[in-house]
A and B are shown apart, each in its own frame.
Chain A
Amino acid sequence: METQSTWQKIWTWIDLRGRREGGIGFILMRLTAIGLVVYLALHLTMISNLARGPEAWDSFIKLVKLPIFMVGDTLLIFGLVYHAINGIRVTVLGLGWGGDHQAALFWGAFVLSVLLTAVMVTAIVAIG
């Protein structure tokens, strides 16, 4: 008999086949969590440029104002907002409430996250 290897266990986490809203919500929650941890590490590394003086900081700011970073910002905002809103959904469902509406709650959380992300990205672009 065969038991699962570590890689198979990880694959089970992200295997989308046969998943419905709850499973997709779970996978997105995992991915956004990993993304936010990676971002935090990057953020702390980048912010350390402050210790290297104004020139280093200014050149870093110039770099992150390139349009390509806007894509990263959009993903970051979506990840943050989705993780927060879905966290509320998971808390409610985890206490055994609203299970009959979990799919609708997922789509609600997803659409709200997209809308809030759009509003925030628009505001960032408008501010320049």
Chain B
Amino acid sequence: MRTLKLRILRGSPTRRRYYQIFTVHLHDEANIIDGVAQVFGEQDHSLMFRHACHHASCGLCGARINGRERLMCITPIAEFPEGATVTLEPLRNLPWVGDLAVDVKPFLQKMDQMGLPYSRSDELAPGPEPGNRFEDCIECGLCMSACPVVSNLKYLGPAPLAALARVLEEPRDVDPTGACEIARGPHGVWRCHSAMECSEVCPSNVDPSRAIGWLRRRFITGK
């Protein structure tokens, strides 16, 4: 067993904001999400946080853990020493709902504009019965939070631009003309300042900064 102190940003736009410390006792194999769930279940049922799959597929439990954007479900508590204080804050650059919850609607609307299908057709998932392999991006929004330029909400941001790159790589009957126009525009690829934080925090190997560079080269050469 391991004891951690979770220092969680509480409040909402209509309530006072403050940090509240909860002490949790967890198995060594647990992840941060288990600690947050324990707080919700045993100490404070008013805590707001988003979660579903607990295995890095749904992309809901993104938060800043000690300042860094990560999925709480795949952040092992074993990373932190016994008795350590771990600060949990909501993602940046998205409207704050309260506690650890943010409204991802503005982000998902940008993703929708790019028209990326959920599954690939150029590559099948491995297994005894081959099936469609999903796209890597789980739309967790970590890259949108880590990118210092997305604080300007008009900028498309890393994940939508990486989605467009995937559409161009493998169109799957999607017409990318409209999305390309947006990406070429004042809030598209040219707003990226190569801070590279998107690729650093991505839990799903999407590498948005590489995709943005690829899009830029493509646009420069007139493709």
Q: Do A and B interact with each other, yes or no? A: yes
Q: How far is the CA of A41 from the CA of B217 in the complex (A)?
A: 36
B28 CB, nearest partner CB in chain A, Å: 25
Chain A residues, CB < 8 A from B200: 20, 22
Of the residues A9, A19, A96, contact of B216 by C-beta under 8 Å: A96
Chain A residues, CB < 8 A from B93: 4, 12
Of the residues B153, B193, B209, contact of A99 by C-beta under 8 Å: B209
Nearest B residue to A90 via CB reads B194
The A1-54 residues at the B interface (CB cut-off 8 A) are 1-4, 8-10, 12-13, 15, 17-23, 25-27, 29
Report if A93 contacts B (CB, 8 A). yes
Instruction: Tell me how many residues of A have a C-beta within 8 Å of chain B.
Output: 29
B213 touches A99 (CB 8 A): yes
Instruction: Tell me how many residues of B have a C-beta within 8 Å of chain A.
Output: 35
B153 touches A4 (CB 8 A): yes
Chain A residues, CB < 8 A from B151: 4, 8-10, 12-13
Of the residues B69, B95, B217, contact of A18 by C-beta under 8 Å: B69
A93 touches B209 (CB 8 A): yes
Chain A residues, CB < 8 A from B67: 17-19
The B190-220 residues at the A interface (CB cut-off 8 A) are 192-197, 199-200, 207, 209-214, 216-217
Q: How far is the CA of A25 from the CA of B217 in the complex (A)?
A: 23
Nearest A residue to B198 via CB reads A22
Main secondary structure of the interface of A (DSSP, over half): helix
B196 touches A102 (CB 8 A): yes
A19 CB, nearest partner CB in chain B, Å: 7
Nearest A residue to B220 via CB reads A95
Of the residues A10, A18, A23, contact of B195 by C-beta under 8 Å: A23
Nearest B residue to A94 via CB reads B194
B209 touches A18 (CB 8 A): no
Known contacts A99-B196, A99-B210, A99-B213; 17 further A-B pairs (Cβ under 8 A) = A1-B95, A2-B96, A3-B95, A9-B152, A10-B151, A13-B151, A18-B66, A18-B67, A20-B197, A26-B194, A26-B195, A26-B197, A90-B194, A94-B192, A94-B213, A99-B207, A102-B196
Binding site for B on A (CB under 8 A): 1-4, 8-10, 12-13, 15, 17-23, 25-27, 29, 90, 93-97, 99, 102
